[in-house]
Amino acid sequence: MALRSPTQLEPTQSAAGSQDYIFNDRQLSAWARQTQEALALMTNTMKNVEKPFSGILPHELAPKFSEVNLDQPLGSNEAALDELKDLYLRDAVWFHHPKYVAHLNCPVVLPSLLAEQIMAAVNSSVDTWDQSAGGTLIEQKVIDWTLGRIGLPASSDGIFTSGGTQSNLMAMLLARDSWCAAHHPGHLIKHRGLPQDAAKWRVFTSKLSHFSIQKSMAILGLGYDAVIPVDCDEHYRMDARLLEQEIQQCLHEGLIPIAIVATSGTTDFGSIDPLQDISKLCRHYGLWMHVDAAYGCGLLVSENHRQRLSGIEKADSVTVDYHKSFFQTVSCGAFFVREKQNLSHVTHHADYLNPLSAQQEGTPNLVNKSIQTTRRFDALKMWLTLRIMGPAALGDAFDSIIALTQAAHQLLKVHPAIEVLHAPELTTQIFRYVPRQGMNETLVDDINANIRKALFRSGNAVIAGTKVNGRQYLKFTFLNPTTTAADIEDVIALIVHYGRELVRDSALNAANQ
């Protein structure tokens, strides 16, 4: 039997139907309708958000998902959005709520949401010029603006990333490969792998630095042991004197220091390492200086506190997360390097994508300086934010949160049942509930751990927890300029309420034993 040619085949109903879902100029009305449906869903949902979380537990929500068969479509936007409301929105954790004070999650500014709508519709990939055109130039313009804010020289450059973890990985990769190129001429790691002495290479960072530094060193083949953690001073900043002692000890042991990672805004304390002192040590010992400012980058637009980042302009590389203190949607980060030629360590030319000839012709293919290939046009979010709001408005918002954190510190400090661990440097505050002096420390730990769980279960507020020197603490992380002192007072009252309940329950349990 003769086979019909492809041109003779009639499209099936499912094939024809699939074309109805492709976004193009023939589907603009459908796109507008579904956009309005999504807008109505979000408007109605957010109008009814009374607390930052529903309090649902994983085992309570999971059974709903076991009933979902992804091989059977629901057939309409309405049905799918109703399902989404039930499975996701009803129990979402709402970062915009003023009593969400847990992690480094921010409410987002409206221009960022506007950008998301546009970038999703166009769907540019900013890896090469022929996939993004003006998107490439918009990203470069935002990169150059940020470089200016940091204070890096004209020789510098950068690239948007998925966030701080990727940026820190790039920093450690460039530090590793640049050191190797300088000390092993002709030995390029991306061609020949690690040299024999790589097992001796060491990177120094605060004991409070982000875990992505250790993770990066493991990924790069140097291992966790290549990271030397340095003790902090009484302000939870890396102690520069102890840092130099660690460097000298490594040299004495025949090890090879290659880099120092300074943190500008530790996750728990918001502490900023002494950048000026660290830069001097880097120059003296010939080390790469990386500044992880994923959190503290908001100071770049601060009118009142920019000086706290003094010394960042001397860095060899810098991490910035716009999706933290610039109030952008996730993900939106960037990596910056003092000398743009160091980005060649991540360059690989593919004839079908970014041939060497294109670089020689001056075509701006951003993939040449990224460890990603396909990449979202996240720079548009910062572009529209700067063009609509401007940097001063962003800085005012961050400054107001710093002031709010100081107010929270005072409220906690004067409370008789609260023990405050530190004076805040940015927008975090660590403390614990201690109902009476001399209480068993293990019991205090248990009470504080369970305060957080009880509060999360109630959904009335969301706070974080952490451990310091083995002891359990609670943490406020403020990144919402609409949170007020009254909101903080309410959250403190809830903490004390659950603390008292837990103390009473522990006393009853002890009496019944």
Tell me: the pLDDT tens digits for 446-457?
999 999 999 999
Place of tokens 């209480």: 439
**CATH label of the domain that carries residue 455:** 3.90.1150.170
In a domain, 68, yes or no: no
306 and 413 together in one domain: no
Domain end, chosen from 331, 350, 376, is at 376
In angstroms, what is the C-alpha Rg of the chain?
A: 26
Q: What are phi and psi of 221, to 5 degrees?
A: 85, 5
Domain end, chosen from 376, 410, 433, is at 376
Place of tokens 């100081």: 406
330 and 448 together in one domain: no
First to last CA, the chain: 86
Mean pLDDT (whole number) for 435-462: 96
425 and 501 together in one domain: yes
Over residues 79-104, the pLDDT tens digits come to: 999 999 999 999 999 999 999 999 99
Structural domain harbouring 161: 124-376
371 and 409 together in one domain: no
363 and 488 together in one domain: no
- pLDDT at position 509 is 67
- pLDDT at position 16 is 47
Q: What is the DSSP code (8-state) at residue 55?
A: -
416 and 338 together in one domain: no
pLDDT-derived band at 354, boundaries 50, 70, 90: confident
335 and 265 together in one domain: yes
Q: What is the DSSP code (8-state) at residue 232?
A: B
Strands 471-477 and 428-433: antiparallel
In a domain, 22, yes or no: no
364 and 485 together in one domain: no
pLDDT-derived band at 62, boundaries 50, 70, 90: very high
Mean pLDDT (whole number) for 291-307: 99
229 and 327 together in one domain: yes
Contact 337, 122 (CB under 8 A): no
345 and 393 together in one domain: no
**Helix/strand/coil for 288:** strand
In a domain, 118, yes or no: no
Label residue 359 exposed, middle or buried (CB < 10 Å: 0-12, 13-18, 19+). middle
Over residues 268-286, the pLDDT tens digits come to: 999 999 999 999 999 999 9
Residue 155, number of CB atoms within 10 A of its CB: 12
**CATH label of the domain that carries residue 277:** 3.40.640.10
Given a cut of 80, is residue 219 above it in pLDDT?
Answer: yes
What's the CA angle centered on 101, arms 97 and 107, to 5 degrees? 45
Rounded to whole angstroms, how far apart are CA atoms 477 and 401? 10
In a domain, 410, yes or no: yes
Given a cut of 70, is residue 6 above it in pLDDT?
Answer: no
Residue 115, number of CB atoms within 10 A of its CB: 24
Given a cut of 80, is residue 293 above it in pLDDT?
Answer: yes
- pLDDT at position 437 is 87
**Helix/strand/coil for 417:** coil
In a domain, 84, yes or no: no
In a domain, 489, yes or no: yes
- pLDDT at position 359 is 84
- pLDDT at position 507 is 65
% pLDDT > 90, the chain:
91
Domain count for the chain, please give it.
2
User: Mean pLDDT lowest for which of 52-56, 127-131, 291-295, 480-484?
Assistant: 127-131
363 and 440 together in one domain: no
362 and 399 together in one domain: no
Strands 333-337 and 317-321: antiparallel
Rounded to whole angstroms, how far apart are CA atoms 37 and 33? 6
In a domain, 64, yes or no: no
In a domain, 27, yes or no: no
Mean pLDDT (whole number) for 54-83: 97
**Helix/strand/coil for 215:** helix
pLDDT-derived band at 11, boundaries 50, 70, 90: very low
pLDDT-derived band at 13, boundaries 50, 70, 90: very low
